[in-house]
Amino acid sequence: MTTQPTGPASGTGETVLETGVAGDGLDLEAAQSVLGVDDSRFRHDYLEVRGLRVEFDGFVAVQGVDLTVTAGDLRFLIGPNGAGKTTIVDAITGLAKASGSVQFGGVDLLGKKTHRVARAGVGRTFQTASVFEELSVLQNLDIAAGAGRGPLTLLRRRTSTPESVEQALETVGLAHLRDVQAGILAHGQKQWLEIGMLLVQDARLLLLDEPVAGMSQSEREQTGELLQRIGAQRTVVVVEHDMEFLRAFASSVTVLHLGQVLAEGTYAEVQADPRVQEVYLGSAGATRGARRRGTAPTSATTTDEKEA
């Protein structure tokens, strides 16, 4: 098999790899076989947020949020700019000081340092994939798998690839690119690699911030299928603005507005909620329509822009 660059993908400036694999994407059969392993240790994991409050210099960004997400529930968080979506994720992962209660798998997360939150089985991605671009896909996963090992152990050359790394390669569909430098992966493939890095760290709660931003349509579909498979075993929360992606793949949706939960339910349920239509869906649709017509939206119709 030869691997060579074939040009930019989707206008992102990333390099598309000609992989020689049908569909050039996720190996669904292989991933499903890997994910068929015993999942009993994940079954009782769930995220429970109660009365979460985050305040910055007198400004209340999140006020009294309650949220429960179980394994098998692929939960999407949506809402206008400033609704508190990313701030909630920051609070869960120890990046924002908060009050209230956040528990995962019975472990209280509030007040813990970020590395201790990670050790509790919580993993997070950001809008821009954080991978070691000069290293291969396999090396990236191996480093992530060694996050809990001591310095001397990390320096020793491995005689074989750990099973967790092999499983992650199959799950995220990058086994055929294991020796490829991460820097020349396509945009979507970098996102899959970062998800794989969370899996080898044994993350049981995955918090993903706009995982399909900048992806091609094909990459978006493959990412949605990947999240559904991972979410069948683990607890997955996705911050997203892409309503078509959400409609296709979300198990349930939590709508946030002004730092509070406005509505919760299936996509159809929240779409039919007049409050959601007023503060989010209606204006988001107006923005997309204005873009298709080539006109500039007004200040009241910018809610599907990225949250600061």
| pLDDT exceeds 70 at position 6 | no
Q: In which band, very low, low, confident or very high, does the pLDDT at 25 lie, cut at 50, 70 and 90?
A: low
83-86: which pairs have CB atoms within 8 A and are 24 or more residues apart?
83/256, 83/257, 83/258, 83/259, 83/307, 84/54, 84/256, 84/258, 84/259, 84/260, 85/239, 85/256, 85/307, 86/209, 86/239, 86/307
Q: What does the pLDDT look like over 29-54, one tens digit per residue?
A: 444 444 444 455 555 689 999 999 99
* Contact by Cβ (8 Å): 145, 162: yes
Query: Cα(134)–Cα(182) distance, rounded to whole angstroms?
Result: 6
pLDDT digits (tens, 9 = 90+) for 280-305: 866 554 444 333 334 333 333 333 43
Q: Which of 198, 195, 193, 180 is nearest to 144 (CA)?
A: 198
Please tell me the predicted confidence (pLDDT) of residue 149: 54
- Identify whether the C-beta of residue 308 lies closer than 8 Å to the C-beta of residue 127: no
Name the residue with higher pLDDT: 97 or 12: 97
Distance CA 119, CA 102 (A): 15
How many DSSP H helices and E strands does the chain contain?
Answer: 12, 12
> What is the pLDDT, as a whole number, of residue 221?
96
- Using a 10 angstrom Cβ sphere, with 0-12 exposed, 13-18 middle and 19 or more buried, the burial of residue 72 is middle
The more confidently predicted of residues 198 and 21 is 198
CATH says 18-271 is which class? alpha beta
Q: What's the whole-model pTM score? A: 0.76
Reported as type and span, the H/E element at residue 100 is: strand 99-104
Please report, for residues 44, 97, 246, the alpha-carbon distance to residue 76 in angstroms, rounded to integers and kept in the order given: 20, 23, 7
As a whole number of angstroms, the distance between CA 288 and CA 304 comes to 8
Q: If you average pLDDT over every residue of the chain, what do you get? A: 81
DSSP H helical ranges for the chain:
28-34, 85-92, 114-119, 137-145, 151-155, 163-171, 187-200, 217-231, 243-249, 267-271, 274-276, 282-293
177-235 pLDDT tens trace? 999 999 999 999 999 999 999 999 999 999 999 999 999 999 999 999 999 999 998 99
Which residues, at least 6 apart from 44, have a Cβ–Cβ distance to it below 8 Å? 105
- pLDDT above 70 covers a percentage of the chain that reads 72
Instruction: Output the CA–CA distances (angstroms, integers) from residue 119 to 70, 163, 191, 223, in the order listed.
Output: 19, 20, 22, 25
The tokens for 163 are 């099973």
Q: How confident is the model at residue 160 (pLDDT cuts 50, 70, 90)?
A: confident
Q: Is the pLDDT of residue 168 over 80?
A: yes
Contact 181/134 with Cβ under 8 angstroms?
yes
- 124-150 mean pLDDT: 86
Cα–Cα distances (Å) from 275 to 13, 44, 62, 250, 282, in that order, read 39, 33, 19, 20, 10
